[in-house]
Amino acid sequence: MALIVHPGDIPHNHPIPVLKKASIQLKETYRQAIRATGTVGATVAKVDNAPSTLLLLGGRTPAEFAPALQDKRVKQRLVHDVKMEQYPAGLGAAGAFKLFWDDMRKPIDERYIQRLVTMPDGGTMILTCLAALMRLLDDTGVTSFETDTTFQRVLGEFNEWEVVVFLKTIQRGSTQFYERLFDEFQAVKQELTGKPLTFKRLVNGGNIIAMNSDMEAAQVLGAARSLFKSNDVEHSGLSHDTPAEEFAPQIIKLCTTHAKRAVLDFKSLVSEADYNRLIDFVYLDSAAKLEDFSQFSPMSAEDWDNTPATTNIGEGQHHWTNLQIGIKQSLVEAIENARKLDERVAREIAISLQSGILVNSQNESYHRRSRNTTRQTTTARKSRESHEVADERAEVEREIQALQAEKQDTAAKLKELRTRKSALGKKSKGSKARSIVVSASSSGRVKTRTIGIFSATSCGLYRAEVFFSIKLNASTGYNYRAYVTSGVELYPPHRQRLI
């Protein structure tokens, strides 16, 4: 091996590097693309597809810009290096500890990580929240909050436990994602098969009996709202303003495994008898048993009825948050992304409270009352139209039945007449000659009389009815001449002596 050292004051050239090797300048260019995209939550796919990357690389993809950036491992190392520059303590638990101690130095209203607790069993608990959002629990319009564990946002051994409240004055409810999802699903079904998705409970001739679902309330209610749009009032007996919560149990079955899964956590916390009673709740088969089971809760009936019966808000919030900050992130990235999102939400809520401009501007009591009135008016109109259509359909059906009965009577009469005609035709077969009565005139004049109508054959070509005329002649006896009814004389004339 030879080592060549060039003096610094003498110009020289370096060998051209291999194409698959990323140069220092190329790496720095890709680092700039990473920072422009956003370090927190950055992935190779996000950086490659970001509009800012195309702008930095002159409208070309990284692979088109330099062959070395075709290698995904090279880009992954660069993404990791940039993240380590911003979070030198790492992206796992150690990095979260560093963020916690950094937040402890901030004023309480600016802190995001409020607690970091190490449990005796080795578990770690990290509580994050903004003071501005926590104060919403003191609002008189908030009567309940929802909690749930998400399993998608944090990658690794940590799971996220989320608390959600519904603030009536702001109305930041998630969009009806699942309702739109089922609307599109039904539209695709209609487009591909030419037939709608029909439920037996909703329309006449429907073949689908039930939809089996897990315990996700947002999905159940969204599906119920979407599927109920095909409701035929005359068939189902359900008015158009039936709430989705009341309609859903009629077509949706919850998975027994999912239903029991939440009860399993109580096995070590309650007696065996209470646990068996809880785990068998899906087998309640009478109103009395259901009433007895509902008394298992010591909450008053008034408080029970005045609080939500589902976790729909929380489930919808899961989906909304995942859309905003993504899923399967490292612990530090999940915390940092959630911090930015919560800070943005807190600012927007403060702006709404100060300016009076709501995120959902159509949610004042006037709007809700107006929509309710419109809904009831529409329901009444549709009900009236349905009754009118039903009455008209019944009248048309009666006319059809009357015409069908008349048609049957006419057919029977025609059959009877044809039978009589056929019988009369059989009786008239064969010719019967009339008796010939010949009489002379008292004056002695020869008389010609028509005495009968016979059936005759001429040359075997046709049959014709002819008149026989009798001429009285003393020398030759009776002379007969035959004529066809049209007046044309048959040739040769038929002569017959009848003595």
The two beta strands, 462-473 and 448-458, are antiparallel
pLDDT greater at residue 429 or residue 93: 93
Mean of pLDDT over the chain: 75
pLDDT greater at residue 5 or residue 406: 406
Alpha helices in 21-176 (DSSP H): 24-37, 44-49, 51-56, 62-65, 72-86, 93-104, 131-134
Contact by Cβ (8 Å): 206, 200 = yes
In this prediction, residue 29 carries a pLDDT of: 92
pLDDT tens figures, 334-368: 888 888 888 888 887 787 777 766 666 666 666 76
In this prediction, residue 483 carries a pLDDT of: 46
Cα-Cα-Cα-Cα dihedral sign, residues 236, 238, 243, 246: negative
Closest CA to 166 of 40, 373, 307, 65: 307
Asked if residue 190 has pLDDT above 70, the reply is yes
pLDDT greater at residue 426 or residue 70: 70
Distance from the first to the final alpha carbon of the chain: 157
Rounded Cα–Cα distance for residues 233 and 201 (Å): 11
Per-residue pLDDT, averaged over 6-16, amounts to 66
Task: Please tell me whether residue 70 adopts helix, strand or coil conformation.
Answer: helix
Asked if residue 41 has pLDDT above 70, the reply is yes
Task: Give the best-scoring range by mean pLDDT among 386-390, 399-403, 433-437.
Answer: 399-403
pLDDT tens figures, 119-155: 777 778 888 888 888 887 777 777 777 677 776 777 7
Residue/partner pairs of 15-21 with CB below 8 Å, 24 or more apart: 19/67, 19/68, 20/67, 20/68, 20/71, 21/68
pLDDT greater at residue 25 or residue 193: 25
In this prediction, residue 77 carries a pLDDT of: 92
In this prediction, residue 266 carries a pLDDT of: 82
Rounded Cα–Cα distance for residues 119 and 396 (Å): 77
**H/E stretch holding 149:** strand 145-150
pLDDT confidence of 10, banded at 50, 70, 90? low
pLDDT tens figures, 159-176: 777 777 766 665 544 435
Contact by Cβ (8 Å): 141, 167 = yes
In this prediction, residue 497 carries a pLDDT of: 40
Asked if residue 398 has pLDDT above 80, the reply is yes
Asked if residue 197 has pLDDT above 80, the reply is yes
Give the percent of the chain with pLDDT over 90.
6
In this prediction, residue 60 carries a pLDDT of: 87
Contact by Cβ (8 Å): 211, 225 = no
pLDDT tens figures, 207-260: 888 888 777 777 788 888 888 999 998 898 888 888 888 888 888 887 777 778
Find the angle CA(246)-CA(165)-CA(212) to the nearest 5 degrees: 35
Asked if residue 437 has pLDDT above 60, the reply is no
Asked if residue 370 has pLDDT above 60, the reply is yes
In this prediction, residue 175 carries a pLDDT of: 36
> Picking from 90-104, 169-183, 484-498, which range would have the lowest pLDDT averaged per residue?
484-498
pLDDT confidence of 84, banded at 50, 70, 90? very high
Q: Residue 449 gets which letter from DSSP? A: E
Name the token pair of 46: 């996000």
Q: Is the bond into 492 cis (omega within 30 degrees of 0)?
A: yes
